[in-house]
Amino acid sequence: MSVGQTETRTGTIKAVPVRHPGRWVAAVAVAVLAAMLVNNLITNEAYNWAEQLKYLFSPAVLGGVRNTIWLTVAAMIGGVLLGILLALMRLSANPLLRGAAWLYVWVFRGTPLFTQLLIWGNIGALFPTLGLGIPFGPEFVTAQTNALYSAAAAASLGLIFNEAAYMAEIVRGGIQSVDLGQQEAASALGLTKAQTLRRIILPQAMRVIAPPTGNEAISMLKNTALVAAVPYLELTFTVQNIYSHTYQIIPMLVMACIWYLFLSSIMMIGQHYLERYYGKGYAR
Amino acid sequence: MSEIMNMPGDALADGLMVKAERVCKNFGHVEVLKGIDLSVRQGEVMCIVGPSGSGKSTFLRCINHLEKVDAGRLWVDGHLVGYRQRGDKLYELREKEVAAQRRDIGMVFQRFNLFPHMTALQNVMEAPMLVKGESRDAAKARAEQLMERVGLSDRMGNYPSQLSGGQQQRVAIARALAMQPKLMLFDEPTSALDPELVGEVLDVMRDLAREGMTMVVVTHEMGFAREVGDSLVFMDGGVVVEQGVPREVLANPQHARTQAFLSKVL
């Protein structure tokens, strides 16, 4: 091309796009698999959709759903608060506090949640009585553990104590991700350590903490199914009870999955807004 | 803090804002400050220059106790920094007392260190509300004034990430001024800026000096030191090598190390 033709080059480019035959092959393969799945869902009698619809909003199932929801909420709130405390202990200047927090995380993260929940369900065998008193000294009030303690307490405590170990690491990572200059700027303005943590460090750490915490919350929703080990009647244990006398095993389990998917979808929406809130001030 | 005399009585009478006596600071085995003696008068603008690693930033950070002094004494406005003296004994100040001392000392950092999760205006409002317990309305009113004073009244709702370096540093100055400090410390305030943005920050500092603010400025801006500074201190290897009136020190340095340094930067 000669210099004189540059005028024509300033127009919008109309080029032949690159062909992507691989994409077409993959799309067809996925479409076929999807069609097979839909066909199965419709034609396979074993799903017994009518049976599922019968139980979907039954009082027993709704009770199980309610217990699953409150366990998830309680475990996450308790786990986050205890996790923040453990993270601050891990970052403390006091070696005893650091060591204690490390030991906690080591124990609760290093053993299966299911096993921990079994222990929480049988805690009465380990501590037959609970009392208030002086350590290694006299006790003022004592009570039978099993009288004070319920399956609900065992289930929620088991989940909280386990979750706190994971949250501690997430929170610690978040706090450590905040630039040291932030601490200095706050100190130079005369803020105390507690004010700096609450107003400057934690809000910034939340940007890093929020996404994995959302994942933890969604994991927790599903992990509540493990409290059948206590035993405590949440959604999965409830449908097990139902199919143990109706023998409609698959329909009940699929129905439980539908409930879990519905709840986790709601949580994903919440996670989206939470991340957007704590991401303010950061250009993408 | 008046229980025991904190400072030699004559120092306050002399109108000294900062007085340092044989201030030493070590990082592990490295001696960063080897006995600094300096005084800053009320209303004085002192510029500290020197090669990197000379200890000038460390000394600045000692003034508001971001670094602990290992030996010697440092007073700000008549108060011993970081310690309380009873008889011959020194007692470390509690965290809250250190925070109270810092309220009167503003600091501006090389990397701005604005709070990224707050708007520019919120950055300026935060400390007066938290530390002085000012009402939101009062803090907001003054923050708006300060933003106007640093020429950013149209940027109050922006987050730091939406501002240029020069604008961020001007917000940082407004944030420090919001605490109505008696003394302002500047730690290489223009070193992280693109060259064309340096001027707007120096302009704000020049205005501040003209209004009588006591300032200690660690800087590489020799033009600013000459024009605005009342005194110039050249530091190297953790000691004050030379000090005097900026124009004279810059034009006619007495010490060989000062001459060598200035020949490279001027």
Per-residue pLDDT reduced to its tens digit, B68-88? 999 999 999 999 999 998 888
Q: What is the dihedral of CA A26, A29, A30, A31, to 10 degrees?
A: 120
CA A253/CA A235 separation, integer angstroms: 10
Whether the predicted model's global pTM rises above the 0.95 cut: no
pLDDT of residue B235: 97
CB contact under 8 A, A188 and B64: yes
**Span B118-123, average pLDDT:** 97
Mean pLDDT of all residues in chain A?
A: 91
Residue B100 touches chain A, beta carbons under 8 Å: yes
CA B36/CA A153 separation, integer angstroms: 63
pLDDT of residue A14: 87
CA B144/CA B174 separation, integer angstroms: 10
pLDDT of residue B12: 53
Using DSSP, state whether B158 is helix, strand or coil.
coil
Q: CA dist B23 to B55, B150, B190, Å?
A: 11, 34, 26
Query: Is 60 exceeded by the pLDDT of residue A172?
Result: yes
CA A88/CA A175 separation, integer angstroms: 9
Q: Which residue of B81, B113, B182 to mutate against A (max A Cβ within 10 Å)? A: B113
Q: What does the DSSP assignment read for A237-266? A: HHHHHHHHHH--HHHHHHHHHHHHHHHHHH
Q: Calculate the CA A15 to chain-centre distance.
A: 48
CB contact under 8 A, B117 and A184: no
Query: Is 80 exceeded by the pLDDT of residue A160?
Result: yes
CA A94/CA B121 separation, integer angstroms: 37
Q: Which residue of A180, A189, A207 to mutate against B (max B Cβ within 10 Å)? A: A189
Residues of A in contact with B111 (CB under 8 A): 181
B202 CB neighbour count, 10 Å cutoff = 21
pLDDT of residue B5: 46
CB contact under 8 A, B130 and A281: no
Query: Is 50 exceeded by the pLDDT of residue A38?
Result: yes
Q: Which of A189, A204, A282 sits opposite B179 (nearest CB)?
A: A189
**Span A7-33, average pLDDT:** 88
First vs last C-alpha separation in chain B: 44
Residue A137 touches chain B, beta carbons under 8 Å: no
CA B119/CA B144 separation, integer angstroms: 12
Confidence of residue A179 (pLDDT cuts 50, 70, 90): very high
Looking only at the bridges linking them, the beta strands covering B231-236 and B83-86 are: unpaired
Query: Is 50 exceeded by the pLDDT of residue B219?
Result: yes
Q: Please, what's the largest Cα pairwise distance for chain B?
A: 55
CB contact under 8 A, A281 and B117: yes
Query: Are A251 and A176 contacting, i.e. CB atoms less than 8 angstroms apart?
Result: no
Q: What is the DSSP letter of B38?
A: E
Query: Are B232 and B243 contacting, i.e. CB atoms less than 8 angstroms apart?
Result: yes
Confidence of residue B212 (pLDDT cuts 50, 70, 90): very high
Instruction: State the residue for tokens 């004050």.
Output: B240
CA A241/CA A61 separation, integer angstroms: 10
B36: which strand partners?
B23
Using DSSP, state whether B164 is helix, strand or coil.
coil
CA distance B14 to chain A (A): 26
Peptide bond into A231 cis (omega under 30): yes
CA B217/CA B233 separation, integer angstroms: 10
CA B128/CA B114 separation, integer angstroms: 15
Query: Are B196 and B202 contacting, i.e. CB atoms less than 8 angstroms apart?
Result: no
The model's pLDDT over A111-159, given as tens digits with 9 standing for 90+, comes to 999 999 999 988 888 888 777 878 887 778 777 777 777 889 999 999 9
Q: Which residues 190-209 of chain A have a CB within 8 Å of chain B?
A: 190-193, 195, 199-200, 203-204, 207
**CA angle, A213 as apex, A81 and A261 as ends, to 5°?**
120
Query: Are A199 and B130 contacting, i.e. CB atoms less than 8 angstroms apart?
Result: yes
Residue B99 touches chain A, beta carbons under 8 Å: yes
